Amino acid sequence: MGLPCSKNTLTDPIKNYLFSAENPLNKTNHINMILTELLQKVREQNLTKTRLEELYTEFLELYSQMELRLGVIEKQEALFMDAHKEESVAAGERLWRPTALGLEMIELKRQNNVVKMQLSAVRHRIYSHVAY
C-alpha cells in the first residue's frame, strides 16, 4: 500500500508498513469492538452502583489504551511531517490524513470524545444513584 505523496515519498518497505492497515499496532478494530460492547452495557437503565463503577473503570481502561495508541500514531505523524518538510504544513497534513494511520488517528480522536462523554455520564449516574 503506497502513500499518496510527492516524489519524495517514503519508499522503504518498512516505513510504508508503519503506515499501513496491516501493521499489528493498528488496534482500532479491537478498540471499536470494546467501545461498542461498553456502549451497549451502559445503556441498561437499572444498573447497580457497583456495576456502574465497574463500567466506569472499563471506560477508563479503554480511554488509556486509546491515548497510548494516539501517542504512537502522533509520533509516526511527526516522522511523516519531517520526511515532507519541503512541503507546507497544510500540504503535509493533507498528505498525512488519507494514510492508514492518519485515518486511524481521525477515528481514535472521535472515539476518544465519545469515551469522555460516557465517562462523564457514568460518573453522574454513580453519584446520583439512589439506594433503595
Which three cell numbers mark 66? 486509546
Nearest C-alpha neighbor of 83 from the set 95, 73, 71: 95
Confirm whether pTM is higher than 0.75: no
Average pLDDT estimate for 33-44:
91
Which of 12-26, 49-63, 66-80, 106-120 comes out lowest in average pLDDT?
A: 12-26
Q: Where are the domains of the chain?
A: 31-36+48-127
DSSP state of 38: H
Question: What is the model's pLDDT at position 32?
Answer: 85
Which three cell numbers mark 58? 472499563
Backbone conformation region of residue 40, classed left if phi is above 0, alpha if psi is from -120 to 50, else beta:
alpha
Question: What is the model's pLDDT at position 5?
Answer: 42
**Alpha-carbon gap, residue 10 to 6, rounded angstroms:** 9
Q: Is the pLDDT higher at 44 or at 130? A: 44
91 C-beta neighbours (distance < 10 Å), count: 13
